[in-house]
Amino acid sequence: MESYNLVMSALHWSRCPVVESVPGKLGGAWVFRGTRIPVSLIFENLEAGMTVDELLSTYQGLTREHVAAVLEFAAQSSQAPNATR
């Protein structure tokens, strides 16, 4: 589970259009816009072996587009020259 912590801390999530961090909403954690679903749950659960379909059925309000957007953002950001903070 260390790798998802690295992903969460290393990327500029403010640049990802499907997520937001709102003070008072889950302690300011990065969540999917308009939900209370933390972005970190995606990485934690995928790393633990959960499939995208299982994620979608487990977390009401989560969409395939949400998952695709954060995975694409993480992939593109990790390849960018200044991907870290």
pLDDT band, residue 11 (cuts 50/70/90): confident
Give the distance, in angstroms, between the CA of residue 33 and the centroid of all CA atoms in the same chain: 11
pLDDT in the model for residue 9: 63
Domain borders along the chain are: 2-79
Which one, of 82, 6, 81, lies nearest residue 43 by Cα? Answer: 6
- The closest alpha carbon to 62, from 23, 44, 40, 36, belongs to 36
State pLDDT tens for residues 15-61: 999 999 999 888 999 999 999 999 999 999 999 999 999 999 999 99
Residue 79 has pLDDT above 80, yes or no: no
pLDDT > 70? residue 5: no
In this structure, which topology does domain 2-79 adopt according to CATH? Arc Repressor Mutant, subunit A (1.10.10)
